[in-house]
Structure 1
Amino acid sequence: MGQFLCHSLKVIARGDHLPIVSTPCVPQSSSRRTNMVETGTLRFKKWQSMLKNGEERMRYLYTSSKLSDLDIFFPGDEEPLKVHSLILSTNSPVFFTMLNGPMAPDKLTLPEDPRHSFQKLLDHMYLDRMDLKSVEEALEVYKLAHKYEIESTKKECVKYIASNVKAETMPAVLETSVLYEVTALKKKCKEILDRDPDAIMLPETVSRLSKATMKALLTDETLAFSSEAVPFRGLIAWGKAQLGQQEEPSGIALREKIGDDLLREVRFLDMPQDEFVDNVVGTDVLREILPTGWLSRFHLSPDGNRETLEPQVRYGLIPWLRSDRNICVHRLDAPGAGTLEIEDFDGGNVVISSASSEGPEFVFAPPAALERGKRYHVWFTPKTEVVANGADGGSQRVGNVTLSREWEGLECALYACESGSSGCE
């Protein structure tokens, strides 16, 4: 028998005449039908019955724009995306508010949304899938999903990013994790940061970070930078990038751009003297920000010349001492005879308590009251003056006690008890 042909009837209106046109219809193979569904080229009058399930019917509506009732325009594009307001409304509470009501539009212009990323958003709305190609693309889609409050799309983007983030894309992911408080992405970034924390502070990297991200890095006490000078140099590079000047900016302009809130997060007291001189002195960004007389504790010459430095005689044993509750400090241990002073950093570096001892045990009477959340510095002044520098430049002789750099910034033994109030008896 010859090939069987079925005929469907197509009615074409021409004035008052309704001629009947016969067109051949050949049953399609599954692969050809799928291809036509994906490209939206089905021409059957009863296309609903030709598609085997809801997924195929939804894909056909998406790719063919059949029954679409909303045109979305993007800057620079003349051709709109034709979509269905019902689909957008059922996926996004933001679109539901925009597209429903007596003044519901049939056209939308989205000047801030990249067309390509929005198309990926639609892929997930219609087809429950996205073909993400890169971490950068996933970040853009995530931002749109957050903007339109599409939680399922956000989860898919986070899953892809967490599985594909590498050292080169980590700064951008860190930005997103800080801005949107994405715990899973913060954790992945932290894993990369822990392997090489210094890399995040390189000029080419910090220039891409926001102020919020810089603060998050500076306040993360778990990041083990090779030196406390590293985050300071990174902060200076970040400030210069924010100014965007070709010439070297003044210290005053740099400080104004960085902000005192960020500068106060740098642990200057943890820096050895030589690093402080090499990296901090002479930048002018610290003018008027450090407590009066703070620089004099290093006995620096006015021009910061290392050859004219006098020996340091006051050591920061515990910089940034902070507790999550009110505590009373009864006793501290230090490396030798001398005086310990506890300063209230947040209160203007006022000495709130001091104790002297022949060492190494220092008892505060009455106990020093430290308030919850406030920052304190503990300073140690040896009993006798420094009489000679160590041969290697890394230690100094103080009476019968040798203070090496291992003591600088070291948390000495702290004996304290919890206080029910801000006072101690």
Structure 2
Amino acid sequence: MAGSDSWLLNRRLTDKFGDLVNREEKSDIKFAFPGSSKVIYGHKLILSVGSPVFDAMFYGPVKETTDTINIPDIIPEAFLELVRFIYSERVQLTIDNVVEVKYAAKKYLVPQLEHPCDVYMKECLKVDTVCSLMNLCYSFRYDESVNQCLEFISANTTAVLRQDNFKSLHYELLKAVLELDPVTYTTELEMFEAAIQWAECKCLEEELEPSPENIRTTLGDAIYLIHYGALTMEEYASFVSPTRIIPPELSIEIFEILGTKQQSLKQGMIFHFPESVLKARGKAGPVKKRFKSTRAISQREVEMKCQEVSE
């Protein structure tokens, strides 16, 4: 046997198939990615065994006749991990590719790959990575994973608010964080300051001056999610009011109510902050789940998936 074929000897089958990952030799299909010069080589038979979508694509009644398939919606690094898993049941996950690998697993109906992705995402729930991960999960509408991220943030709110990548959160995720009931002690002043820093960052990204008016516009309804009733008169007067972010009519109302609250507390009375100013805790409820659990896939669904991939 030629020396170049020595990799075939005395090895497990999965190891041998693993060596064929993205190997041009003996390949009969390749995948291209619009906007990227990268190409991934594959073998139709192996891919079809691992994915009913690939099987329909290569051997079904509407099979592809070209030797190059364009993949417009998955980054090459994530698609390569899908191929690697089909060939060898191994996967190399990172914080940057895990969400797209899970997306690829769903699209090509490889549910066995979704589990290691879910496990890895839970391992990535750390103070310095949770915001980046939550952004990605939100982009791909993985609501269950978004909820897991929010639960982690609720337990580590102060530390997460101090991370630079907090400023990169999608707007809807910022609002979700502001609506949390932190498990750890986090003041509403910290929430307010984090929201202002987020808005300042967004203004700079849009090449806008971070003026009070622009910050107020950028925050939109999120500005009303801060529980101003939990602040003291001194905190509001010293740190919130000087920013001129709060609309004047609301700021006057807050001053009046905080004054009444302070007087009531001095007299030992129970003070109830008005609903118009209080943040509606838990108003949004859990993020609605859009994905169902894995189940048996019908032939019709496989054909529809194949058609989606081909379009």
Q: Same fold (TM over 0.5)?
A: yes
Give the superposition deviation at 1:228: 0.5
CA distance in 1, matches of 2:154, 2:76: 33
1:231 and 2:178 are equivalent in the alignment: no
CA distance in 1, matches of 2:199, 2:57: 40
Give the superposition deviation at 1:84: 3.4
- Give yes or no for contact 1:120–1:141 (8 Å, CA) kept in 2: yes
CA distance in 1, matches of 2:71, 2:124: 29
1:221 and 2:181 are equivalent in the alignment: yes
C-alpha RMSD over aligned residues = 4.2
Give the structure 2 partner of residue 113 of structure 1: 74
1:213/1:85 Cα in 2 relative to 1: closer, same or farther (>3 Å)? farther
Give the structure 2 partner of residue 180 of structure 1: 142
Give the structure 2 partner of residue 345 of structure 1: 276
Give the structure 1 partner of residue 232 of structure 2: 272
1:225/1:218 Cα in 2 relative to 1: closer, same or farther (>3 Å)? farther
CA distance in 1, matches of 2:200, 2:273: 35
Give the structure 1 partner of residue 7 of structure 2: 36
Give the structure 1 partner of residue 307 of structure 2: none
Give the structure 2 partner of residue 328 of structure 1: none
CA distance in 1, matches of 2:250, 2:220: 13
Give the superposition deviation at 1:72: 0.7
Matched residue of 2:243: which SS? coil
- Give yes or no for contact 1:219–1:265 (8 Å, CA) kept in 2: yes
Structure 2 counterpart of 1:295, from 251, 254, 279: 254
Matched residue of 1:259: which SS? helix
Structure 2 counterpart of 1:257, from 204, 213, 218: 218
Give the superposition deviation at 1:234: 1.0
CA distance in 1, matches of 2:183, 2:88: 42
Give the structure 1 partner of residue 119 of structure 2: 159
Give the superposition deviation at 1:56: 5.6
1:142/1:279 Cα in 2 relative to 1: closer, same or farther (>3 Å)? farther
- Give yes or no for contact 2:84–2:90 (8 Å, CA) kept in 1: yes
Give the superposition deviation at 1:127: 0.9
Structure of higher CA gyration radius: 1
Give the structure 2 partner of residue 83 of structure 1: 42
Matched residue of 2:225: which SS? coil
CA distance in 1, matches of 2:144, 2:189: 29
1:70 and 2:29 are equivalent in the alignment: yes
- One-letter amino acid of the structure 2 residue matched with residue 345 of structure 1: S
1:242/1:146 Cα in 2 relative to 1: closer, same or farther (>3 Å)? farther
1:130 and 2:130 are equivalent in the alignment: no
- Give yes or no for contact 1:95–1:148 (8 Å, CA) kept in 2: yes
Which structure 1 residue ranges, 5 or more long, are not aligned?
1-24, 38-49, 300-311, 318-333, 350-372, 375-425
Matched residue of 1:224: which SS? coil
1:240 and 2:187 are equivalent in the alignment: no
- Give yes or no for contact 1:225–1:231 (8 Å, CA) kept in 2: no
Identity %: 19
**Cα-to-partner distance string for 1:289-346 (whole Å, 9 max, x where unaligned):** 849x5135158xxxxxxxxxxxx233599xxxxxxxxxxxxxxxx8858797784539
Count of aligned residue pairs for this structure pair: 277
Give the superposition deviation at 1:204: 1.9
CA distance in 2, matches of 1:86, 1:36: 20
CA distance in 2, matches of 1:297, 1:224: 29
Instruction: Report the TM-score when normalising by structure 2.
Output: 0.68
Structure 2 counterpart of 1:210, from 170, 178, 193: 170
Matched residue of 2:241: which SS? coil
Which protein has greater RCO, CA pairs closer than 8 Å, 6+ apart?
Answer: 2
- Give yes or no for contact 1:203–1:238 (8 Å, CA) kept in 2: no
CA distance in 2, matches of 1:337, 1:192: 34
- One-letter amino acid of the structure 2 residue matched with residue 180 of structure 1: Y
Matched residue of 1:226: which SS? coil
Matched residue of 1:345: which SS? coil
- Give yes or no for contact 1:201–1:233 (8 Å, CA) kept in 2: no
- Give yes or no for contact 1:240–1:254 (8 Å, CA) kept in 2: yes
Matched residue of 1:280: which SS? helix
1:52/1:202 Cα in 2 relative to 1: closer, same or farther (>3 Å)? closer
1:94/1:264 Cα in 2 relative to 1: closer, same or farther (>3 Å)? farther
Which structure 2 residue ranges, 5 or more long, are not aligned?
285-311
Matched residue of 1:82: which SS? strand
Give the superposition deviation at 1:188: 7.0
Matched residue of 1:72: which SS? strand
Larger strand proportion, structure 1 or 2?
1
Give the structure 1 partner of residue 290 of structure 2: none
1:266/1:316 Cα in 2 relative to 1: closer, same or farther (>3 Å)? farther
Give the superposition deviation at 1:206: 1.9
CA distance in 1, matches of 2:65, 2:29: 8
1:150/1:111 Cα in 2 relative to 1: closer, same or farther (>3 Å)? same
1:314 and 2:286 are equivalent in the alignment: no
CA distance in 1, matches of 2:271, 2:127: 44
CA distance in 2, matches of 1:91, 1:189: 34
Matched residue of 1:207: which SS? helix
Give the superposition deviation at 1:124: 0.7
Structure 2 counterpart of 1:199, from 126, 149, 159: 159
Give the superposition deviation at 1:208: 2.0
CA distance in 2, matches of 1:101, 1:65: 27
